[in-house]
Amino acid sequence: MLRSLIFALAAFALAACGDSHFGTFTSGPDGFDTHAYWYDTGREVVVFDAGFTPDIARELIATVQAGTDSPITHVVLTHPNPDKFNGAETFRALGAQVVASRATAEAIPGVWAYKRAYFVDFAGLFTDETWPAEPTVDVTFDGRLTLELDGGTVELVELESAGVSSTQTVAWVAAHEALVVGDLVHHGAHAWLEGGIVDGAPRPDLDGWRAALEELRPWSGGTVYGGRGRPAEVAAAIDAQTAYLEGIEALVEDYVAELDDEGRASLLANDGAHWDALTARAAAAWPEHELAYMITYGVYGLAMQIASR
């Protein structure tokens, strides 16, 4: 089985296994350098995660269609973050069904509204007209779901713990020994540390994240495909991601402990100087890791949580 990964704007990789393929698409920074994946059975295609905007979703769709005549019939959302679900309506327009756990489907409206408030009202990067429509989920499930495709199957498993978000689904493509886990793993890249959006606020849970990683152990020997970073053998990815989470938690705790009352107050007031300082420390601690800007934009959730203890 051939596995390759090209890290570039609108990059893709194909792994051949008989008549089927497993592919990778990578957005540019405008989509937070997020990977989406697809499995082409040779007769139909299921895509894992839909991209941050309709334009990115269209790039993903064009990349898939350039490599196969098989129709895209499903798009699976691994967790409720906008870089996973904002492009879903573009897939629905093709006739594909949007699939997510019931917990993910129920979380999407709150996350969508929270992110709309940031990107439209605060940052001004979108308008109400350009912010992607809230997606509709066509198929929901609790616990497990087997997607019976023409020429293959995909096993979807809702983890007991979540980690990077409030709920997490992983997908096992047995034909390629591929485990798709969304942002649960950032192998060789910095992680998004905002936490899940619950009741209109970020709620990081690094203990839950580490527990979710341990739930991946039964697939050891396969290859894990995360939302960012490189593919890796499952057990090696678990160990590396766990070590990173322990290290970044200690780094943020040390930084917060150094602050006086005024500094802690400014951190809790979302002073961006703190996120820049933490980014610099994280980049120095993991010089081999990519995407340090993940810290800049996401660490506020973890840092505020620690400062509030």
Q: What CATH number is given to the structural domain containing 146?
A: 3.60.15.10
Strand runs (DSSP E) across the chain, as ranges?
Answer: 11-17, 20-26, 35-40, 45-48, 72-76, 97-101, 139-141, 144-149, 152-158, 169-173, 178-187, 196-198, 201-203, 223-229, 232-233
Residue 15 inside a domain? The answer is yes
Per DSSP, the three-state class of 100 is strand
Q: According to the model, what pLDDT value does residue 87 have?
A: 98
Q: According to the model, what pLDDT value does residue 308 have?
A: 95
Q: Which of 37, 17, 8 is nearest to 226 (CA)?
A: 37
CA–CA dist 289, 124 (Å, integer)? 30
Instruction: Provide the residue-wise pLDDT of the chain in tens; the chain has 309 residues.
Output: 333 333 333 333 444 455 899 999 999 999 999 999 999 999 999 999 999 999 999 999 999 999 999 999 999 999 999 999 999 999 999 999 999 999 999 999 999 999 999 999 999 999 999 999 999 999 999 999 999 999 999 999 999 999 899 999 999 999 999 999 999 999 999 999 999 999 999 999 999 999 999 999 999 999 999 999 999 999 999 999 999 999 999 999 999 999 999 999 999 999 999 999 999 999 999 999 999 999 999 999 999 999 998
Per DSSP, the three-state class of 5 is coil
Residue 16 inside a domain? The answer is yes
CA–CA dist 86, 282 (Å, integer)? 29
Instruction: Please tell me the total count of domains within the chain.
Output: 1
- Pairing of β 35-40 and β 72-76: unpaired
Residue with tokens 């997490």: 168
Residue 239 inside a domain? The answer is no
Whether 98 contacts 135, CB under 8 Å: yes
What is the token pair recorded at 169?
């689904």
| pTM for this entry | 0.93
Residue 209 inside a domain? The answer is yes
Q: According to the model, what pLDDT value does residue 163 have?
A: 83
> By residue range, what is the domain housing residue 127?
11-233
Q: Which of 229, 277, 235, 278 is nearest to 33 (CA)?
A: 229
Residue 103 inside a domain? The answer is yes
Q: According to the model, what pLDDT value does residue 17 have?
A: 55
What is the token pair recorded at 269?
């007031």
User: What do you get for the CA distance between the two ends of the chain, in Å?
Assistant: 49
Residue 242 inside a domain? The answer is no
Sort 200 into a burial class: Cβ within 10 Å, 0-12 / 13-18 / 19+.
exposed
CA–CA dist 122, 118 (Å, integer)? 5
Residue 72 inside a domain? The answer is yes
Residue 96 inside a domain? The answer is yes
Q: Which of 205, 272, 167, 229 is nearest to 5 (CA)?
A: 229
Q: Would you give the distance in Å from CA 296 to the centre of its chain?
A: 17
